[in-house]
Amino acid sequence: MTGTTWTSETTGAGAYAQVNGLNMYYETHGSGRPLILLHGGLGSGEMFGPIMPTLADHHQVIAVDLQGHGRTADIDRPIRNTLMADDIAALIDHLGLDKPDVVGYSLGGGVALMTAVKYPQKVRRLVAASIYLRPDAVDPALRAQQGQVNADAAEFMKDTPMYELYQRVAPRPEDFPRLLNKIGQAMAEDFDHTEDVRGLQVPTLLVSADADMAPPSHMVEAFKLLDGGLRDGGWMGEGRPKGGHALAILPGLTHYNLFSSPLFAAVTLAFLDQED
């Protein structure tokens, strides 16, 4: 991960919105039907820099910095997908958006998922990348590493793109250890999104790298909850999932480069630009 620079070559219009006690930063790129874009843990909207021009050629992209990330300062509450979903719903109202698409990766994928679960009337289509239903989907060795994420790890992360980005853009760069503590606490919590996924009411694209944190078989399991992968799709698509859902396993990628891949941009746009 140290070889990846998390920065954007495109310049968007940055602004802040007061939502749920947060001074939330977001940048707007391009024009067209609105797309809310949510980054991964310890990142910011700048993670999507390499694919931002492609997305912004087709949509008005609103790249959000989630609680405690990027240019959005932390507040006194846990970092939790359900709470940050409330922030995104409030931002949609604040901006007066009419059912934007919501696209999220990793932590942002979980927030995007919960936004669609809790506020289906506010979301047109959902793209959730590099998420998993339960912690046991992840290799036990990786889970053990996640369990070691806390403030003490800050010193060892100074050569990572996460640390460099935070120091460059955060309102309080000294809060990086605090962010690590909160991310570590979030990853230590048990969860099961099985029923959340099964009950999705908006067309959803699940995306995974073929070498992601969870194996492709796990994303296939999630797709089955959406009536996917259970039968032949048929000549006219009559056997495809009833809710308009889809699955993409992207070749040659990992959890750590999917978000900046042209393949991710391509499958996202292909899904979002379908007619309802």
Question: Measured between alpha carbons, how far is 149 from 180 in angstroms, rounded to an integer?
Answer: 6
Instruction: Using alpha carbons, select from 172, 243, 247, 183 the residue that is nearest to residue 209.
Output: 247
* Tens-place pLDDT, residues 58-111: 999 999 999 999 999 999 999 999 999 999 999 999 999 999 999 999 999 999
User: How, if at all, do strands 34-38 and 60-64 pair?
Assistant: parallel
Q: What pTM was estimated for this model as a whole?
A: 0.96
* Tens-place pLDDT, residues 39-50: 999 999 999 999
Which run of H or E residues covers position 224? helix 216-225
Res. 11: pLDDT tops 90: no
* Tens-place pLDDT, residues 195-235: 999 999 999 999 999 999 999 999 999 999 999 999 999 99
Q: Name, in order, each residue with C-beta under 8 angstroms of 76's C-beta and a sequence gap of 6 or more.
A: none
Q: Name, in order, each residue with C-beta under 8 angstroms of 58's C-beta and a sequence gap of 6 or more.
A: 30, 32, 269, 272, 273
Left (φ > 0), alpha (ψ -120 to 50) or beta: where does 55 sit?
A: alpha
Which run of H or E residues covers position 111? helix 107-118
